[in-house]
Structure 1
Amino acid sequence: MPIAEDPEPRPSRGDEPGGSDPSGTGEKDPFADLVLDDAFVRGATVKEQSGRTRMLSARWKHTPPVDPGGRRSVNDGPSAAKGRFGRKPKPAALDPWGNPRPRRRGWRAPLLVVLTIAVVLSVMNVDGLRTWFSDHLGKSSSAAPAPVPTVAPETAKPTAAPPTTPDDQPTVDHPWKGSPAEGWPTGQEAFVLPEAKAVGVFSADEVASQLQSVKAYLTASNLDPQVIAGARPEASLALLDRADRANAVAALDHPTKDTDPTSWFTRFDPREAALVGTTVKVQGRISYEGDGDGGVLVHTDFTFVYPLQPGPDAEKLASSRRRTPDTAPGGTATAKPGGTAKPVGLVSRAAAADSGDTWTTRTIVRKVDDIRFYDPKHYKVDAKKLVLVKTQWDAGNSACDVYDGFLHPQFQQFESHDPEPTGPTTDPYDRSKDIAPADQCGSVSRT
């Protein structure tokens, strides 16, 4: 096999003229039959070092390599000292040239220090931490308050009063604080109508229409925001029979002790009180039966809870209110023949002067009505209009003996000049008892 240094083939013997035998004996050249193929290269006993090995050898003559540690064999003697917690040190990472890489700073130790400091501070000032979470995240660091259980509309008369709740002061932001009505149905959700069946001379469809009229009357009389704010209840008046409508209009125009329009309609003087938001909590039930004369008799029993905030003149009106001179102490207000009303006053003295109008209160009104639809063949009535046969009502947290056509809630932040209560203390949320006439101004156990 020719090589680059010798373009001419070598002689096969040593006796040619000018032969290559250096001895001059004429013997054959020992390298004449040598072939530098792959087999020759693989069989070589001495091999040339690679370029990388020669480069590293030259570098290490001046800069010896550093032992990274951790790469020891069983013949290297005792192992090096272990790291923290008895752990073996990790072998150092090497760069492509075999040098150890600089170790990165760990992030676990600083994080552990920060968490330790936070835990220590929280233990030292739990209340402060809770306040911070409440201010910045809108939630307390303590466990979230249990959700208020939802109370379904009544299907029968309850056997006991609602459970006692914490006596917390309600505010504009939390108007239902401390009220058992917080989980009650809202507004018309409580007016669940029973299944309509034929009664007397009326078919099932006619009874269903009558029940819808009763629901509309309850809504317009007790839930209409404008009526609650003192407006004239025109929608309610339109649903009443001619005689009842005339009596209600007279009561609105000339309210007195014996004809108090609040027995029909829930109204507040806007100068004194305003509804907080638009939510009114309601609980109760509706039933019906035949009236024994071919007609239908509908029974309604509902409690309405109104969250209220002071009006622009609330403090002035609370300071100037006096018992009306023509009303004797302990008088009862007759709503209509056969019905009575017992205004119940919540007497409380002025509290924190800086509470301003952020504190709210609640007035609880319970109304029990018997509404009759007469047989038009035997009575001169409109079969689609409501006739109020009997009305009973009870107002918790409303000033006693004030008959001007409005309810008058008392706010804790304003000192009241109403008369001291001499009657019993009642629970306005207790629907297990019937409304009983009272001859004295009492107080309520909660609002």
Structure 2
Amino acid sequence: MAGRSPEEPANGSSISDEELRAFLQDSERGAASAPEEPSARARMVTERLRRQAEPEGWRTGPARREPDGRAGRRRTLWSALGVALALGAVVVSLKPSLLPGDPLGSAQPQAAAGSPLPAETAAPTGAPAPVAEQVPTLDQPFAGSPALRWADGAAGVVPPAAKAVGSASEERVAQALELTRKLLVGANLDPATLRGENPTAALSVLDPKQPDLLDDLTTSLRSPDKEHDPVLLFSRFDPEEVRVVGDVVKTRGHMTVKKGEHAGVAVHADYTFVYPVARADGSTEVTRTIVRRVLDLELPDPAHYDVTPGRLVLVRYDQELSNSACDVYDGFLHPQFDSAEPTGPAPTGPATDPYDRSQALEHNTTESCGTVSRV
């Protein structure tokens, strides 16, 4: 084993035996006499013992040495930054909203990205803004859809406040609006209707005295074909093919009222319904079918016309069925899934945004089947 120099301590300490003995002797002499200034050696050893007793980084870290005087310049820089930060703290204390994101919550409240939209009272001026593309799932079936902020189901069918129009009282107007609401809910949101069952609630508000209407609707439900297609008025899915995901259908739209042509109340309704669906075979793939319906209805005055009191006359109904198979007339909507072969012929019409409610919905006389820009 290599030898050890006299200055090197035996126990691995940085203080030699000679220094330690000298320190003890100085201490003994000092204890027997009056206090006096410690010798230079004693001060040196005491300081070295004190530094050894303190762990590195205690209170202050080990000094960092940098060449070319950079340590001094860094201290100057940090001092300047400290002054700037102090001034900034004063400014923020006077106006906290200057902080990014306003973490103190002192700015004016803003609507969150996922917060519900206020009820629609008139046609919007444009399509909903684009949203981040996301894949819908069973847990989040409206992910990546503008409908995420729409109302849930019947909560989105909100009639306006009733006011008298023409000779119709406020009560008659309120009745017409409530019947319209019942028709929309029964035809597009009733779980039984969505499962392909008979839309009894919706049919119950229509006047049986309206020529041929109920007969045509009954025929379309019993024996659907191209001339009698129930999806033109009712949202229906084949339960053996697809199922609605969850218990929420997103809804957005509005109603307007004016004086009717038959001494009654005329109601115009324009609503869009978004249905998240999955295949009935247990697949977890989710897509959406979007249905927009525009209806004109009247509640005539039974004192002047041969009508059934408390029943609506359906004057006109148009629809836009998006992400559903074209030219299939079996009485059901057929959603298109990315992983499945398309049902029916390929779309040939122009691409449209099914969430755009700013454009008037005109009756499609060309019978072309278009594509959708988003679902």
Q: TM-score, normalised by structure 2?
A: 0.69
* Partner amino acid, structure 1, of 2:187: S
Q: 1:235 to 1:74 in 2, by over 3 A?
A: farther
Query: Within the alignment, does 1:383 sit opposite 2:273 as a pair?
Result: no
Q: Contact 2:172–2:265 at 8 Å: present in 1 too?
A: no
* Whole-Å separation in 1 of the counterparts to 2:169 and 2:58: 90
* Partner amino acid, structure 1, of 2:333: L
C-alpha displacement of 1:433: 0.7
C-alpha displacement of 1:442: 1.2
Q: Specify which of 282, 286, 290 is matched with residue 364 of structure 1.
A: 290
Q: Contact 2:176–2:298 at 8 Å: present in 1 too?
A: no
- 1:7-40 alpha-carbon deviations (Å, 9 max, x no partner): xxxxxxxxxxxxxxxxxxxxxxxxxxxxxxxxxx
- 1:22-67 alpha-carbon deviations (Å, 9 max, x no partner): xxxxxxxxxxxxxxxxxxxxxxxxxxxxxxxxxxxxxxxxxxxxx9
Q: Which residue of 1 aligns with 2:191?
A: 225
Q: 1:74 to 1:86 in 2, by over 3 A?
A: farther
* Whole-Å separation in 1 of the counterparts to 2:343 and 2:227: 24
Q: Which residue of 2 aligns with 1:174?
A: 140
Query: Within the alignment, does 1:286 sit opposite 2:255 as a pair?
Result: yes
* Whole-Å separation in 2 of the counterparts to 1:87 and 1:383: 91
* Whole-Å separation in 1 of the counterparts to 2:267 and 2:346: 38
Query: Within the alignment, does 1:267 sit opposite 2:193 as a pair?
Result: no
* Partner amino acid, structure 1, of 2:256: S
Q: Which residue of 2 aligns with 1:159?
A: 125
Give the secondary structure class of the aligned counterpart of 1:239. coil
Give the secondary structure class of the aligned counterpart of 1:279. coil
C-alpha displacement of 1:85: 5.2
Q: Which residue of 2 aligns with 1:427?
A: 353
- 1:99-147 alpha-carbon deviations (Å, 9 max, x no partner): xxxxxxxxxxxxxxxxxxxxxxxxxxxxxxxxxxxxxxxxxxxxxxx75
Q: Which residue of 1 aligns with 2:158?
A: 192
Using the TM superposition, name which of 194-203 and 357-366 deviates more. 194-203
C-alpha displacement of 1:240: 0.8
Q: Which residue of 1 aligns with 2:4?
A: none
Query: Within the alignment, does 1:80 sit opposite 2:8 as a pair?
Result: no
* Whole-Å separation in 2 of the counterparts to 1:227 and 1:292: 31
Give the secondary structure class of the aligned counterpart of 2:47. coil
Query: Within the alignment, does 1:416 sit opposite 2:342 as a pair?
Result: yes
Q: Which runs of 5+ in 2 are unaligned?
A: 1-26, 28-34, 61-111
Q: Specify which of 180, 183, 191 is matched with residue 149 of structure 2.
A: 183
Count of aligned pairs:
277
Q: Which residue of 2 aligns with 1:126?
A: none
* Partner amino acid, structure 2, of 1:390: R
Q: Which residue of 1 aligns with 2:216?
A: 247
The RMSD of aligned alpha carbons is 2.2
* Partner amino acid, structure 1, of 2:164: A
C-alpha displacement of 1:212: 1.2
Q: TM-score, normalised by structure 1?
A: 0.58
* Whole-Å separation in 2 of the counterparts to 1:255 and 1:416: 21
Give the secondary structure class of the aligned counterpart of 2:151. coil
Identity of aligned residues (%): 43
Q: Contact 2:262–2:305 at 8 Å: present in 1 too?
A: no
Q: Which residue of 2 aligns with 1:40?
A: none
Q: Contact 2:128–2:356 at 8 Å: present in 1 too?
A: yes
- 1:142-176 alpha-carbon deviations (Å, 9 max, x no partner): xxxx7523222211111111111233322212211
Give the secondary structure class of the aligned counterpart of 2:202. helix
* Whole-Å separation in 1 of the counterparts to 2:165 and 2:360: 27
Q: Specify which of 264, 268, 271 is matched with residue 295 of structure 1.
A: 264
Give the secondary structure class of the aligned counterpart of 1:444. coil
Higher share of residues assigned helix = 2
Structure with higher Rg: it is: 1
Q: Specify which of 362, 365, 370 is matched with residue 442 of structure 1.
A: 370
